[in-house]
Homo-oligomer: A and B are copies of this chain.
Amino acid sequence: MQRFKCIVTYDGTHFAGYQVQPNKRTVQGELERALKKLHKGEDIRVTASGRTDAGVHARGQVIHFDSPLNIPLEKWEIALNSLLPDDVAVIGAARAAEDFHVRFDAKGKEYRYFVHLSSRRDPFKRHYAYQFPYALNIDSIKKAAAGLVGTHDFTSFCSAKTEVEDKVREIQEIEVVEEGDMLTFRFKGTGFLYNMVRILVGTLLEVGSGERDADSMPAIIEEKNRSAAGKTAPPQGLYLWKVFY
């Protein structure tokens, strides 16, 4: 058996999320279906760096799986892509050590969130950015973002539905970039809780709209209560951009 590590990109629009669910179309389901075909009916289990929700995209999701097949490395990408539907693609394959684990060995992740600053709907952006029609104070957003960087208990920024107990995470960097009518948030951290990036963005947009103070982030973190933070921004603006090892 050989362990393989692949980088996977997908348009999350027509998926019920990454993780396998009965009777739903999922990214994991499509990857395992393709691997099963390649292995002539044998079930191959895929492990990912983490789940993504319905409608959330990935530019650099990473997966691992074990295979007895003796296919040259450069053929893995071609073979898998020929079996995958057109909204998911493998963009890199490598051999990995047998004890490599795509989730436990991840050193950090980058997520990006795209906000389309416009009062006008754009049919070409509807699945790929969150349309936000109200005026924003970008300087306030940047100031508030600085108050989120660091190692904190992010309970306030985590869906109450989570089962994870330890909610301490480190956000290493938040970049806020305005280019034309697109506002991009780039989050780098050691790990992110369930819905964390979307709640961070929702809260920062409330700061930008003047509904919250730019210096209120430490107090929200301190409360350790989901209701202290802002709304969860919608999924279509979110991209799992890169996983660091």
A residues engaging B (CB < 8 A)? 9-11, 57, 81, 86-89, 91, 120-124, 126, 128
User: Given B9, B81, B88, B124, which contacts A128 in the complex, CB threshold below 8 Å?
Assistant: B124
How many chain copies? 2
In this complex, which of A10, A89, A123, A126 has the most chain B Cβ atoms within 10 angstroms of its Cβ?
A: A123
> Which residue of B is nearest A11, CB measured?
B123
Contact B11–A121 (Cβ < 8 Å)? no
Complex CA distance for A11 and B126, rounded to whole angstroms: 10
User: Given B86, B120, B123, B126, which contacts A123 in the complex, CB threshold below 8 Å?
Assistant: B86
Complex CA distance for A91 and B88, rounded to whole angstroms: 32
User: Given B81, B86, B91, B121, which contacts A86 in the complex, CB threshold below 8 Å?
Assistant: B121
Contact A89–B121 (Cβ < 8 Å)? yes
Contact B86–A9 (Cβ < 8 Å)? no
> Which residue of B is nearest A85, CB measured?
B123
Distance (whole angstroms) from the CB of A181 to the closest CB of chain B: 13
User: Given B86, B88, B120, B124, which contacts A11 in the complex, CB threshold below 8 Å?
Assistant: B124
Known: A86-B123, A89-B121. 11 other contacts (CB 8 A): A9-B122, A10-B123, A11-B124, A11-B126, A57-B124, A86-B121, A86-B126, A87-B126, A88-B123, A89-B120, A89-B122
